Structure formats: C-alpha cells, structure tokens
C-alpha cells in the first residue's frame, strides 16, 4: 500500500523553489507523481502529488521539515494526505439563484455524479433551505471585506478536506489568492457562449445585441474573469419576438444541464488542460 499527499506552495516568485521542495521530498523517500507550477504577475504557485511506500515516511519529520522550508522561503507550504480510492469531496458555492444548486444536488443524489457534496457555501442565506432539504451542510460567509470572506471560505474548504469547487451561479469574483490554491479544480457556469459576453448581465447583452444563438459555458476558473479553459457548451436559437425573460428561462435550464455535464466530465479524470485548452485524454 502507498500513502498519497498533495503539497501546495504559494508565494512571491524566487529562484530554486521547485528544486528545494522536490529535493526535500526526495530526501524523505517520496516519489513525485505529478507536478504543476506557474508564475503569474510575480506570484509563484505549485501543486505537487507525492507518494510514499507504507511505513517509509516519518510524518512528524516530514511536516517539521516543510515548516522549516516554508519559513526559509517565505512561502506558504501545505501538506494534505488523501486516499485516491475514496470519492472526491465537492464544495458548492452559491449566491441566490437556486436552479444550478438544485440540479447538482439531484444529480449527486441520483448517483449520476460520483462524488460527495460535502458543503454548500454562500455569501447570502437565500439557499440555506434548499441545501437543508438535500441534507447538505450550509455555511454563510457574508463578510463585506472580500479578503476576510475568502480567508474564512478557504479555512472551511481545508477543514472539510475539499477536493474541488463548483460555482453554481456564485456572484462574487474569486481573487488570485483563492484560485491559485485550486488550479483547474474550480468549475464555473457562465450564461453565454464564451468568449462572447463575459462579465455580468450576459443574457441582457445578448438580447440587446440581437444575437440569434444564445448559450452557456462551463469552464475552469482562472485569474482572468470568464476566460478559463472551456469544458462544455450548449446553445439554443432565439425565436422571433422572444422576450428577455424567456431567454433567461431557457438559458437557466441549459446552465443546469451543462454544469452537471462539466462536473461529470471532471470526475472522469480524463480532462487535461494544455496551453489553456481542455482536452479529453
């Protein structure tokens, strides 16, 4: 049997970080299974998957060494053990629109999504009754300061050992500080055929521009608003004299369908992001 862990490293970019972290893990008997790192606007982030043979790792020594390395580099280094055989744990972030949350919960309950919905997080209390109906814990972080709200949210994600995040019409923009910790593990649904009509009021923008085809996009979240790698898209044609409300109603049905499809694809573990494009492998 092997033991598996994820190591995340975040901080201001400097030379030698990858070598020092991987070198230390090698000294502790680790086998590096996968490694992703990037530098954006001077900020370094790395996610590393490592494994050890059973009884081949001194847990206290490993953690103490990572703590010392964190201080020496001036970076955040976190270690999390996981069992690849267990169901992945999902956190669902919502604001006030219920359709995507209800669709996801129904899919989880029916077994169409092979994961465990561990918690619903929100900046409002509107959808608490819906989460309770599906017997899912609901936590509201309504701090007006975004940094404080995100700090509390990240603490909750860590406490509940969350593997990936779904934004089910969550109407707050996530900061780079948040996104770096879950690279290609945050799935969002946007009400347009990206890259057209990013940002807020996408249906209204499409309606006012007189487009003939409207759609929705499920994508991974990056630091650039509504520009993350696309996982799935669906569309429908605009009928003559179709009102904005009718467009929104039709679009919301597609949002739910497409978000469930995207989460299902993610859970197959057959999606690879290469140069900003999602490919099935």
Rounded to whole angstroms, the Cα distance separating 250 from 131 reads 24
The reply to whether 226 belongs to the active site is yes
Catalytic residue among 145, 224, 226, 272: 226
| Active centre residues (catalytic) | 226
């Amino acid at each position: 049997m092997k033991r598996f862990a994820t190591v995340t490293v975040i901080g201001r970019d400097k030379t030698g970080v990858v070598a020092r972290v991987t070198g230390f893990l090698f000294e502790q008997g680790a086998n590096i299974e996968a490694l992703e790192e990037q530098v954006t606007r001077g900020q370094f982030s790395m996610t590393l998957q490592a494994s050890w043979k059973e009884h081949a790792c001194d847990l206290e020594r490993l953690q103490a060494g990572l703590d010392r390395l964190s201080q020496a580099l001036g970076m955040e280094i976190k270690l999390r053990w996981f069992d690849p055989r267990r169901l992945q744990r999902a956190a669902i972030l919502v604001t006030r629109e219920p359709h995507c949350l209800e669709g996801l919960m129904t899919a989880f309950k029916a077994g169409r999504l092979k994961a465990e919905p561990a918690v619903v997080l929100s900046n409002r209390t509107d959808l608490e009754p819906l989460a309770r109906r599906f017997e899912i814990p609901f936590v509201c972080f309504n701090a007006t300061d975004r940094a404080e709200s995100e700090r509390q949210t990240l603490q909750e994600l860590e406490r509940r050992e969350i593997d990936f995040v779904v934004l089910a019409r969550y109407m707050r923009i996530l900061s780079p500080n948040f996104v770096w910790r879950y690279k290609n593990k945050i799935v969002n649904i946007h009400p347009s055929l990206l890259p057209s009509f990013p940002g807020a009021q996408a249906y209204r923008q499409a309606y006012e521009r007189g487009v003939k085809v409207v759609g929705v996009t499920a994508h991974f979240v990056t630091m650039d608003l509504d520009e993350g790698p696309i996982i799935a898209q669906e569309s429908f044609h605009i009928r003559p004299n179709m009102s904005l409300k009718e467009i929104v109603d039709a679009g919301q049905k597609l949002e739910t369908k497409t978000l469930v499809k995207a989460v299902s694809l993610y859970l197959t573990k057959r999606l690879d992001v290469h140069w900003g494009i999602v490919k099935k492998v």
